Structure 1
Amino acid sequence: MLASSETRPDRRPSIVICAYDVADGGWDAVEDLSGAIWHPAGARTVPVAAGEPARLAELLSRHLREADCRAVLLVGRTRRSDGFRVQMRAENRTLDGAHRLSETGPALARTTAPVAEMVRALKDAGLAADASSDDEDDAGGFLLYSVLTSLPDDVDVPAVGLLRAPAGVGQITLDKGVRAAAAAIARHLSPLPRARAN
């Protein structure tokens, strides 16, 4: 007979975490030698692999249309800082930066993730960190803008953010930073209502 905890629906909201650069190894979602996926307290982690940016933007937007998905954390690199950076906004521009991505969209889209809490969590984990409005020459800003502007108007606003790790940082430090930022986001998420969790 299954324990009641095994038969009840999981009411934790999910956080999609996507290290979007195909050339970068990305963060390690596995918690330990058991092969279990790491989850922050109060939420479930859904790792999404890197891919072609336009397709990846659509995939991430689809995740956010699912009832249990309440956050997306994009993970990339910064070449402008020796510390972690939480990007606060994204510009309306194509992947190559030559044109507007949307002729009718706003010039800027502001992140909905708890930026100050993410920076504080990174610092509490012993990592150098700050927040920045600067975009960089990679797919991060394109993805952030695409996902933010694809959100439907009739739902609670999910947390969407972009964390940039220093270009030369190793896997252990990268994982530590991603987990600290995701945990900060998770602290702002409420359990799913019963109707949405079923």
Structure 2
Amino acid sequence: MLDTIAENQPDRRPAILVCAYEAADPLWSVVNAETASGWSPPGTRLRPLGPDEPATLAGLITGQLSDAACRAVLLVGRTRKSNAFRIQMRAENRALAGGKKLSQIGPALARATAPAAEIVRALTDVGLAADATSDSEEDAGSYLLYRVLTALPDNADVPSVGLLRAPVSLDDDALRLGVQTAAAAMSRNLSPLPRARFI
């Protein structure tokens, strides 16, 4: 009887949405395998989101963030500028195809809300080369980061949103460790959901 009651209780762990946005990239199989195996950072849940058209993904991610249980977004893609993991700390107001602005009324820059220094330190501690950068790369990752950040509400309870870029040369084991480590670093800043969120 106690088991039945426990099963009906809402899951009060905050969720981290992990989005591998590039099609035909091994990163998606790594993210999906982590979720299938039941791995999540302590005290949190992972929600995987696979590749799709960037505009579609932006809508899906912002829709997920309307759920109060979704407290963080980790975008996962590639860097072609480094042999180390990179945490991109900002995104520019730039259209996906070309140099024109994405939004005529949006800010010129949007700053990531994920704890970049903590993620870099955690990656370094497990033996992975990593740095944080303000340089954008002109791809779907920068587009998504800008779209998601500029859609966040203007209040103190802002979700943690970050973009983790992995070198193209890494094998699956290093990719898996990098994603796990970054998600765990983000999770340490998330508090359990108050009961009021489920009323």
TM-score range, shorter chain: over 0.9
d(CA) in 2 for partners of 1:60, 1:98: 24
Q: Which residue of 2 aligns with 1:150?
A: 151
d(CA) in 1 for partners of 2:137, 2:42: 31
d(CA) in 2 for partners of 1:161, 1:63: 15
- The answer to whether the 8 A contact 1:29-1:38 is kept is no
Residues 62-116 of structure 1: CA deviation (Å, up to 9, x unaligned): 0111110000000001111111000000000010132101101110000000000
Structure 1's 197 and 13: CA in aligned 2 closer, same or farther, altered over 3 A?
Answer: farther
**Percent of counterpart pairs with the same letter?**
59
Q: Which residue of 1 aligns with 2:68?
A: 67
Q: Does 1:104 align with 2:105?
A: yes
Could you say what secondary structure the match of 1:12 adopts? coil
Amino acid corresponding to residue 40 of structure 2 in structure 1: H
Structure 1 or 2: larger helix share?
2
TM-score (norm 1): 0.93
Q: Which residue of 1 aligns with 2:163?
A: 162
Structure 1's 45 and 172: CA in aligned 2 closer, same or farther, altered over 3 A?
Answer: same
**Unmatched 5+ stretches in structure 1:** none
Amino acid corresponding to residue 172 of structure 1 in structure 2: D
- The answer to whether the 8 A contact 1:10-1:197 is kept is no
Q: How many residues align?
A: 196
Stretches (4+) displaced over 2 A: 1-8, 27-32, 152-155
> Any residues of structure 2 matched to 1:20-39 within 5 Å, and which?
20-26=21-27, 27-31=30-34, 35-39=36-40
d(CA) in 1 for partners of 2:60, 2:188: 25
Q: What do you get for the CA RMSD once the two structures are aligned?
A: 1.6
d(CA) in 1 for partners of 2:163, 2:153: 20
d(CA) in 2 for partners of 1:87, 1:38: 25
TM-score (norm 2): 0.93
d(CA) in 2 for partners of 1:24, 1:166: 12
d(CA) in 2 for partners of 1:106, 1:156: 20
Amino acid corresponding to residue 95 of structure 1 in structure 2: L
Q: Which residue of 2 aligns with 1:45?
A: 46
> Any residues of structure 2 matched to 1:1-198 within 5 Å, and which?
1-3=1-3, 5-26=6-27, 27-31=30-34, 35-154=36-155, 156-197=157-198
Could you say what secondary structure the match of 1:126 adopts? coil
d(CA) in 2 for partners of 1:31, 1:145: 26
d(CA) in 2 for partners of 1:121, 1:29: 22
d(CA) in 1 for partners of 2:193, 2:21: 27
- Offset, 1:155: 6.5
- The answer to whether the 8 A contact 2:18-2:31 is kept is no
